[in-house]
Amino acid sequence: MLGDLLKKTLENTGVLISILAITISMITLVGVLLTPKPVFPTPQYSVNTQHSVEKKNILSTTGSGRVVVEPDIVAIVLAVEVEKPTAGEAISEAADIMNRVIESLVKIGVSRENIATTGFSLYPVYEYIERKTILRGYKVINRITVKVPTAEQAGEVIDTAVHSGANRVDSITLELSPEKYKTAYQKALSLAVEEATRKAETVASAAGVEIVKILEINIQQPYYTPIKYEVAEMARTPILEGELTVTAQVTIIFEIKN
Between 107 and 39, whose confidence is greater? Answer: 107
Interatomic CA distance for residues 102 and 96, integer angstroms: 10
Distances (CA, A) of 248 to 178, 179, 198, 214, 215: 16, 16, 16, 19, 20
251 CB-near residues (< 8 Å, 6+ apart) = 60, 61, 62, 196, 217, 218, 220
Contact 217, 161 (CB under 8 A): no
Interatomic CA distance for residues 141 and 217, integer angstroms: 49
Query: What is residue 151's predicted lDDT score, i.e. its pLDDT?
Result: 83
Give the pLDDT confidence of 140-155 residue by residue, as tens digits.
999 999 999 988 899 9
Range(s) within the chain of domains with CATH label 3.30.70.2970: 73-175
Provide the CATH topology of domain 57-70+179-257: Translation Initiation Factor IF3 (3.30.110)
Provide the CATH topology of domain 73-175: Alpha-Beta Plaits (3.30.70)
Complete DSSP assignment for 159-192: HHHHHHT--EEEEEEEE--HHHHHHHHHHHHHHH
Contact 101, 79 (CB under 8 A): no
Interatomic CA distance for residues 77 and 73, integer angstroms: 13
Query: What is residue 129's predicted lDDT score, i.e. its pLDDT?
Result: 87
Using the predicted structure, report yes or no on whether residue 27 has a pLDDT greater than 50. Answer: no
Range(s) within the chain of domains with CATH label 3.30.110.170: 57-70+179-257
Query: What is residue 238's predicted lDDT score, i.e. its pLDDT?
Result: 52
Contact 160, 58 (CB under 8 A): no
Give the pLDDT confidence of 179-195 residue by residue, as tens digits.
999 999 999 999 999 99
